[in-house]
Structure 1
Amino acid sequence: MAAAPPTAPIRVDDTAGGGRTVRRIAAVAAVTAAVAAFLAWYGNRHDFFDLRIYMSAMRWWNEGNPLYDYRQPDPVQGELYFTYPPFTALLLRPFAALPLGATFAVFSILTLVAVAVTTWWLVGPATDRRDLPRWFAAGLAVPLVLAIEPSRETLAFGQINMLLIVLILADLLFAVPRNSRWAGVGVGLATALKLFPGIFIVFLLVTRRWRAALVASVTAAVATLLSAAVTPGDSWRFWTHELWATDRVGRLDYTANQSLLGMLSRFTAPEAANRVLWIVLVLAVTGFGLWRAARAVSAGVDPIAGLTLAGLVGALISPITWSHHLFWLVPAMIVLVDAALPVPGGGGGTRWRPGYLVAAGGVFAASVYGVVSFPLWNNDPVPTGSVGEFLLRNLFVLISLLLLAGLPVRRHGGALGW
């Protein structure tokens, strides 16, 4: 009778590894379930309000009316208009032929996919340094990203923000560092769609990515000129008049406007803020923030801190930065968590840095609470009434300023620095 073949011994490492995987799956499932319950309770409080405006404006335009004449009453901010460049309007126009429900579904799915993809990209460097499975880090991070106000508001309003973020991050995380011939195209397209991403063309310039900055500028210009060729009247009107009319977007003092000008406007409402003071602050924040961003790129081993600082600069200096524009808190939190956790093998240190972890937790808690989701004030145009109200109504402005000053940078060799 033949002897039974020997069986491979069960290694302790295999058992431990299997148990670790089970615990990781359980952690991801628990976080996902908790966030899903929170979002189900929170609900869609805006019922795709912005996307409804876009689609109504597209139907109005299709009927032969001037695009920028479309207006929609709003009980809080008066009349609201279509405010995107003509290039964006041309891309949105086909959706007017779809039923609204289908459009809502398409934009929601694209936003969710964009959150998953960008989070996967952003957690990559931190997980690679620690030889952790990226699925685990992304599995924890994606639901947490969906829990914060910028993501909730993007979904609830039906905004296009995350689609722009995909273009920007694909460019700055992959094409630009690899000196691809496509470097700059993503930033250029995003700038043509919505002017805010233009800060990243400046970022490319201050970090001496001359070719990528040129490609981005040419891409934005070509997309803009193509839309002008298709719709010359609306393009002329947008670039010569509507672009400069900030009152078309909403009240500057409205709490959801988390820019420097919004903060100043809440001091003086209903009167206009001092524009000279605002310009001085814009110049100071832009100079300091882009200086730090350039230092992060020149000294760092990954581009996340630098592009995060540039995004925060753009959010602060824009006349209007709604809370759903503040995606840049997401990579900031990832940078802080990465800085807080030890790296095995001494690549940057094996010790914990709990201060950074506390900072990341504070930014997350503030982002879940937000500035408009659970308001403790009315939205009448009145001056900020107390220190507590000032802190709450300018929560993201103050956090952005703190991050601009204190976000850590991982340097060559793994060491952390300022």
Structure 2
Amino acid sequence: MSVPVSTIETTAPPTAAPTEPERRAIPAAACWVISILGAVAGVYYIHQVRQTMQVMMHLMDLSVYQIAGHRVVDGASIYDTPLLGQTRGVWEFVYTPFAALLFVPLVDLHGDVFTYVGAFGNFAMLTASVLAALSMLGYRRDLRLVLIAVPIAGLLMWCEPVRETMAFGQINIFLLMLVLADMALPDSSRWKGVLTGIAAGIKLTPAFFVVYLLVTRRYRAAVTAIGVFAATVLIGLAAMPKDSLSFWSGAFADPTRVGVPENPRNESLRGLLARTIGVQGVHQLLWLAGAFAIAAVCLYLARRLSLTGYELPAVVLVGLTTTAVSPYSWVHHWVWLAPLLVYLADLALRRRGAVTSIGLLIAVVVASGGVIAFFDPTMSSIYDYPAGSHLATFLHNGYIWLTLALFGAAAVALRRSARDALPAPAR
């Protein structure tokens, strides 16, 4: 699988926070088209939820978060035993003590209120994430942008990681919103880094964005993020000293708390290797070396993209990489495919070329799980193709292949951009 080179380019690269005169309005015609498509997609999604509630809105993970909140209130440990059932590696709490404190308000939610908070809360955060992405693309932050973000979020409900996050009531869209909103702030803002620090204080993988801030020389924002992260650790320690000791003394680095790495739904590099060659002994070193190499290449490409004004694709690459190199990444962890689709769609609409359209189509097919659920939500994704064949190896790791293809597209595009910037030879 490959993504066309020009899918990483833009006609007028915006900076992370362009000044207002540089911002552009979304064309009225595009607003109407997107609004109609988004309304149809959103209404059809709601129809499927009503028809198959136990498939598309069971909120199992949100219920587990609620149990974690109950344990905090009752003074019981959240790490000693699984939150649900007795099987190790199933329904164990894998977030920080600070995250458990954030789940305490869920204790008082019951019945339909619980369902509405889970569903509409995630949709509202997805809409906010779209707003942040569009802002990073240089669009004018006005009422029209707010209104168009809603139908775009409706379209993104058919991105498989978003759809699964909604179904499980997962926290991933919340983390996506925090990081995107933070990266959309101007570098001069004293608040830049705060939301990234909070995100890392909830789940450790967003801490990779601190490294991104460092390599792009936004040192104040990086220090702010580190300081806020440290504050979340101290808050957790003060409120839950025993659990904090358990988590930071080893529980945070134990991937078995999530499950076996060869699980077909583990869409990370470690999952890919576990399903093909295993992850014991030398294979464990191979995974670590591969993860380090992918992270290093990502930071190199993201730095160059950011310094040349392509902030959103740079941030998206970092987000995808955090998921790719994580020891365990469920499908719903890949919500960074949502802003990728926003970027590619914007590019395809403005360039109106076959290459960018093909790139968008490839990304849509991969991110939607083969658009199977659009026709029948009870059907499996293409990533559930039976194991034991070369096709299964390809399909089970579709997100990894897409990420690596985007690396290649970014590298070639940056090289082409640098070549075009060279002065013409003297005659």
TM-score normalised by L of structure 1: 0.81
**Which residue is 1:65 aligned to?**
76
Rounded to whole Å, the distance in 1 between the matches of 2:218 and 2:189 is 12
Q: CA RMSD in A?
A: 3.5
Q: Which runs of 5+ in 1 are unaligned?
A: 1-16, 343-350
Residue 30, structure 1, aligned to residue 43, structure 2:
no
**Pair member with larger Rg:** 1
Residue 306, structure 1, aligned to residue 314, structure 2:
yes
**1:374 maps to amino acid:** S
Residue 367, structure 1, aligned to residue 367, structure 2:
yes
Contact 1:188/1:215 (<8 A) preserved:
yes
SS in 2 for 1:315: helix
> Closer, same or farther in 2 for the Cα pair 1:142/1:79, shift >3 Å?
closer
Q: How does 1:97-112 map to 2 (within 5 A)?
A: 97-99=108-110, 101-112=112-123
**Which residue is 1:291 aligned to?**
300
Q: How does 1:24-173 map to 2 (within 5 A)?
A: 26-37=36-47, 40=50, 43-45=53-55, 47-72=58-83, 79-99=90-110, 101-124=112-135, 128=139, 134=145, 138-173=149-184
**1:341 maps to amino acid:** L
Contact 1:252/1:265 (<8 A) preserved:
yes
Contact 2:96/2:201 (<8 A) preserved:
yes
**1:364 maps to amino acid:** V
**Which residue is 1:337 aligned to?**
345
Moved more, 39-48 or 318-327: 39-48
Rounded to whole Å, the distance in 2 between the matches of 1:236 and 1:56 is 20
Note the alpha carbon deviations across 1:309-365, whole angstroms, 9 max, x for none.
1111111111111111112112222222333333xxxxxxxx533212211112112
Deviation of 1:195 after TM superposition, in Å, equals: 0.6
Residue 321, structure 1, aligned to residue 304, structure 2:
no
Rounded to whole Å, the distance in 2 between the matches of 1:376 and 1:25 is 29
Select 2:228's aligned residue among 212, 219, 226: 219
Deviation of 1:109 after TM superposition, in Å, equals: 1.9
SS in 1 for 2:91: strand
Contact 1:410/1:417 (<8 A) preserved:
no
Note the alpha carbon deviations across 1:346-397, whole angstroms, 9 max, x for none.
xxxxx533212211112112222269961578799xxx51111111111111
Rounded to whole Å, the distance in 1 between the matches of 2:402 and 2:174 is 24
Rounded to whole Å, the distance in 1 between the matches of 2:260 and 2:420 is 39
Rounded to whole Å, the distance in 2 between the matches of 1:116 and 1:417 is 37
Deviation of 1:68 after TM superposition, in Å, equals: 0.8
Residue 235, structure 1, aligned to residue 260, structure 2:
no
Contact 1:255/1:379 (<8 A) preserved:
no
> Closer, same or farther in 2 for the Cα pair 1:106/1:307, shift >3 Å?
same
**1:152 maps to amino acid:** R
How much identity, in percent, do the aligned residues show? 29
Q: Which runs of 5+ in 2 are unaligned?
A: 1-26, 374-378, 422-427
Residue 248, structure 1, aligned to residue 257, structure 2:
yes
Deviation of 1:272 after TM superposition, in Å, equals: 7.6
Deviation of 1:236 after TM superposition, in Å, equals: 0.6
Rounded to whole Å, the distance in 1 between the matches of 2:253 and 2:262 is 17
Deviation of 1:20 after TM superposition, in Å, equals: 8.7
Select 1:257's aligned residue among 256, 266, 270: 266
Note the alpha carbon deviations across 1:46-105, whole angstroms, 9 max, x for none.
711112222223324433332212315679986331111000111112322332543332
SS in 2 for 1:82: coil
Rounded to whole Å, the distance in 1 between the matches of 2:296 and 2:344 is 23
Moved more, 98-107 or 85-94: 98-107
> Closer, same or farther in 2 for the Cα pair 1:21/1:333, shift >3 Å?
closer
> Closer, same or farther in 2 for the Cα pair 1:244/1:178, shift >3 Å?
closer
**Which residue is 2:199 aligned to?**
190
**Relative contact order: is structure 1 or structure 2 higher (C-alpha 8 Å, sep ≥ 6)?**
2
Rounded to whole Å, the distance in 1 between the matches of 2:45 and 2:163 is 11
Rounded to whole Å, the distance in 1 between the matches of 2:91 and 2:35 is 45
SS in 2 for 1:65: coil
SS in 1 for 2:368: helix
Rounded to whole Å, the distance in 2 between the matches of 1:58 and 1:135 is 33
**Which residue is 2:409 aligned to?**
406
Deviation of 1:107 after TM superposition, in Å, equals: 2.7
**2:327 maps to amino acid:** P
Deviation of 1:137 after TM superposition, in Å, equals: 5.1
> Closer, same or farther in 2 for the Cα pair 1:78/1:325, shift >3 Å?
closer
Deviation of 1:408 after TM superposition, in Å, equals: 8.3
Q: Tell me the number of residue pairs that the alignment of Structure 1 and Structure 2 aligns.
A: 385
Moved more, 181-190 or 261-270: 261-270
